[in-house]
Amino acid sequence: MNQANELPIDQDVAQPSPELVRQALQSVVSSAAFQASPRLQQFLTYVVEETLAGRGAQIRGKAIAVEVYGRSIDGTGGRNLVRVEARRLRRLLQEFYEDQWNGEGVRIFVDSGGYKPRFSLDSTSGMRNSDALGKHPRLTQLLPFGLVCVVLIAGIGFWFAQNNEAVSPATRSTEQAERAALGEQSLTRLQAANLADQARGMFFPVFDVKRQQIALGMFQHATELDPALSDGYAGSAQVLATLAMLSPDKARREDLFSQAAEMSGKALDLSPTDAWANGANGWVLATQYKPVEALKYARLSVELAPKDGHILDLVGITAIMANAPDLAAEVSDPERLRAGSGRFGARNIWGVSQLMLGNYEKVVEAFKGAPAAGAPVSAPSLLFQAVAHDQLGHSEEAQRLVMEMRKTWPEFPSEFLAGRIFHNDDATRQAILDTLSRY
């Protein structure tokens, strides 16, 4: 990920480095209020990372609606939602800085009238930070500690906004215990684990290249903070494999696959019994068209973490790539209990599994309710619905969905990705190509 140093700060004010900005971001999103609002975590992370990458001037409401909330860019509904959420974001930021900030380091503003963040650094505190960091680089990792402890002590769990499910008290206790154990072992490791956890919540929509690149940058930063923690490597592996699958350039694809295999290998070496390390390796193998090996690691990861929402999603898309729709349906079953934070893609995975199994009415039901449930919405969502309607004989609706997909995502390579995703499933691949050709 290209991380340019363009920062929206007046020239006469001390300019914080990207590292200090990311520390400030970590402090904010680790606070109790933001932990209870995963979407606002993603909103703030998205606009900050876009700005650090030099794309702050291009941040628009419709981009946030698509990138963060998975909404179609047609109409005003998505942008109205972003405006409402931006007001919530500004309010939570103000409350955080008034109630919990110690006045040190970088302060993040999202001013009214736009979404591009502004970063403020007191020159005095900046010099103090600079002097201290020059002597003790590890001190850069201490800033979020107080807020993380507040989160741990207060017992704030992660909300399942996308599935309207609450985390059980037992799950919250386990998550807190794990975070507390990390904090006792290493503050740097705790920060790296938190960052990786936030990034994995950005995995969906899978086909959004820009979103994947942002997540990759966060995973890479996690490995820089703690090279001995497997989470950053597992996350990097899953994103690199995804980018490889989406790349039409063969040389580029092979390079990304090589990097993905290296990252998944490191994750497994560091933590061979970790569910995420095994699940990421399964996904890497699936995107390389090695279905038997992929399913072995996928099934093992489910055994290791049978309720982890991200693991279940990772296994679900692995099963789709490996032409194992029964496994995909099992792990994405709407009735299955899942835990964790982030943006789950279970509803969409369930819909694709039913498409592969020929249950077209269930496909329509799954994808029709996705936006209302907060599930990711993307070009494939519309395409799979169109195929199901076509198979059911609903020609007008199939045509409408294909036209909407072409209008909203004109650059989406439908035929190419149909061949990549359903490489091992001739029947589903042909049904998609026939629908695209017919309409």
| pLDDT tens track for 330-372 | 999 989 988 875 556 888 999 999 999 999 999 999 887 655 5
- What angle (nearest 5°) sits at the alpha carbon of residue 24, between those of residues 8 and 148? 165
According to the model, what pLDDT value does residue 167 have?
Answer: 38
According to the model, what pLDDT value does residue 156 have?
Answer: 31
What DSSP string describes 64-101?
A: HHHHTT---SSSSHHHHHHHHHHHHHHHHHHHHHHHT-
116: left (phi over 0), alpha (psi -120 to 50) or beta: beta
What is the 8-class DSSP label of residue 10?
-
More confident residue, 215 or 328: 328
pLDDT(3) > 80? no
Q: Are 46 and 69 in contact (CB under 8 A)?
A: no
The rounded distance, in Å, linking the Cα atoms of 189 and 253 is 31
Confidence band for 150, pLDDT divided at 50, 70 and 90: very low
Amino acid code (one letter) for 406: R
According to the model, what pLDDT value does residue 328 have?
Answer: 97
| pTM exceeds cut of 0.85 | no
The rounded distance, in Å, linking the Cα atoms of 387 and 351 is 11
According to the model, what pLDDT value does residue 102 have?
Answer: 85
Amino acid code (one letter) for 154: A
> Which residues, 6+ apart, have CB-to-CB distance to 16 below 8 Å?
7, 9, 24, 105, 106, 119, 121, 126
Q: Report, as an integer, the average pLDDT of 98-110.
A: 89
pLDDT(414) > 50? yes
According to the model, what pLDDT value does residue 260 have?
Answer: 96
State CA 322 to chain mean position distance.
22
Q: Report, as an integer, the average pLDDT of 105-118.
A: 91
Paired tokens of 250:
């063969």
The rounded distance, in Å, linking the Cα atoms of 62 and 60 is 5
Confidence band for 30, pLDDT divided at 50, 70 and 90: confident
The count of C-alpha atoms lying within 13 angstroms of the C-alpha of 416, restricted to the half-sphere facing its C-beta, is 11
Confidence band for 2, pLDDT divided at 50, 70 and 90: very low
19: left (phi over 0), alpha (psi -120 to 50) or beta: alpha
Q: Are 260 and 241 in contact (CB under 8 A)?
A: yes
The rounded distance, in Å, linking the Cα atoms of 235 and 99 is 33
Q: Are 18 and 8 in contact (CB under 8 A)?
A: no
What percentage of the chain has pLDDT greater than the value 70? 77
Per the listing, tokens 């963060």 go with: 68
According to the model, what pLDDT value does residue 200 have?
Answer: 86
